[in-house]
Amino acid sequence: MIKGRLRVPGDKSISHRAVMFGSIAKGTTNIKGFLTGADCISTISIFKKMGIDIELDNTFVKVHGKGLYGLNCPNEVLDCGNSGTTTRLVSGILSSQNFTSVLTGDKSIQKRPMNRIITPLSMMGADIKSNDGFAPLTITGSKLHGIEYNSPVASAQVKSAILLAGLYASSPTTVTEPAKSRDHTELMLKKFGANLTSTKTSVTINPCSELLANDIDVPSDISSAAFFMAAAILVPGSELILENVGINPTRDGIIKVLKDMGANIEIINQTDSFEPVADIKVAYSKLHATCIGGDIIPTLIDELPLLAALASLAEGTTVIKDAGELKVKESNRIRVMCEELSKLGVDVVETEDGMEIKGADNLKGNVTISTHDDHRIAMTFAVLNLISEGELRLDNKNCVEISYPDFFNDLNKVNV
């Protein structure tokens, strides 16, 4: 049974941004609840290489910002590791610095599409050379002007790269998306003093003379909490309270879909600082199938592999569509989920932009799961391992370090 209370680590998206914005703000930014996963450590390491003094003490971070133009020319390549957020957002900041720098990352990053930021940043006047649309990226700082950009994808990383470049532009910049993506950048930039206005699917940022340091209290990451929601839903007799979870409406699609599937979930003790936060109470539930698609997809893009796993035990056939973005994550998450769920005896069909999953009564075990070094795939199958008929062995457990270094310890803690 999954029982008790748990506070999962800090939100990855917010942790990245707090370090980035703190570095280009004037003054000292104190960050509480910082996520110490490998991705966020990559962000710290990059800004240190550009002369920013950053102190890390467990989950408390002090960033001594040097202002919008205070970064120094790095004397080595800036390695983003496995972090798409770092690569794309930092590109926006570097587009207007008075130096040339090179951004790269691991094998997975070098396969992820970068034209989606190169195109709009180049329209603003940025000078970016790439390896045929992929990292490494060589960025020479230029004078930027504002643009009005219709993004073909609802992607917070694309939107954020443009907005960060927009801070440095000579005129306002507007980004319009096909559906609203995560708005952590907009909320935090406002907190740091940027002049932004938003409508449902567009954001306009005005040129900025300076950002001012601000203290950030990072809520727990709903994407990490989701694995424990799933565990409590699947294991009979479970009841769990997840504490201090960020429930930003651009991220809470997982809660909406789980409720729609019949999950017993309650939001309690809600508070709202600059991001809405609450405790989430979740208990064992029998699930039924649903259809997941349309505007909700950007609000749960990282939870879709987990939802596919839950659908494999829900009554009926669940359809996931409009989720082509999953193909260009740390792995092709559509293909990987279909291949690995099939090993457990699940009837699952890969479609062009999603999958169809027929719920089963039980899941076979005694198989090795190919994680493709993808942290979310590893954690998804670690949850299914709680109820499968035999062990699900992960070919790489260590990839969880990317977003949740203590994942297996925490899972043991609540699994009584």
pLDDT at 389 over 90: yes
- The residues that are catalytic are 302
In CATH, what class is 219-414?
alpha beta
pLDDT band per the 50, 70, 90 thresholds, residue 167:
very high
Predicted pLDDT at 349: 98
Sheet of 137-140: strands edge to edge? 78-79, 100-104, 137-140, 127-129
CA 366 to chain centre: 31
CATH fit for domain 4-206, picks 2.60.120.10, 3.65.10.10, 3.30.360.10, 3.40.640.10 = 3.65.10.10
Q: Find tokens 């440095």 and name the residue.
A: 168
Mean pLDDT of 374-396: 98
The CA distance from 56 to 248, in Å, is 26
- For residue range 61-120, list pLDDT tens digits in order: 999 999 999 999 999 999 999 999 999 999 999 999 999 999 999 999 999 999 999 999
What is the percent of the chain with per-residue pLDDT over 90, rounded to a whole number? 99
The CA distance from 354 to 34, in Å, is 33
Mean pLDDT of 346-359: 98
pLDDT band per the 50, 70, 90 thresholds, residue 226:
very high
Predicted pLDDT at 89: 99
- For residue range 303-341, list pLDDT tens digits in order: 999 999 999 999 999 999 999 999 988 889 999 999 999
Instruction: Please determine whether the domains at 4-206 and 219-414 fall in the same fold group of CATH.
Output: yes
Q: What is the mean pLDDT of the chain?
A: 98
pLDDT at 254 over 90: yes
- For residue range 262-300, list pLDDT tens digits in order: 999 999 999 998 899 999 999 999 999 999 999 999 999
Residue 152 preceded by cis peptide, ω within 30:
no
Domain residue ranges in the chain: 4-206, 219-414
Does residue 393 contact residue 368 with C-beta atoms inside 8 Å? yes
Contact residues for 241 (Cβ-Cβ < 8 A; gap 6+): 4, 5, 6, 268, 279, 280, 281, 282
pLDDT at 25 over 90: yes
The CA distance from 152 to 166, in Å, is 19
Can you say whether residue 67 is alpha, beta or left, with left for phi > 0 and alpha for psi between -120 and 50 degrees? Answer: left
Q: HSE-up of 220 (CA within 13 Å, CB side)?
A: 18
Dihedral sign computed on CA atoms, order 222, 225, 226, 229: negative
* Number of Cβ within a 10 Å radius of residue 110: 14
Predicted pLDDT at 330: 87
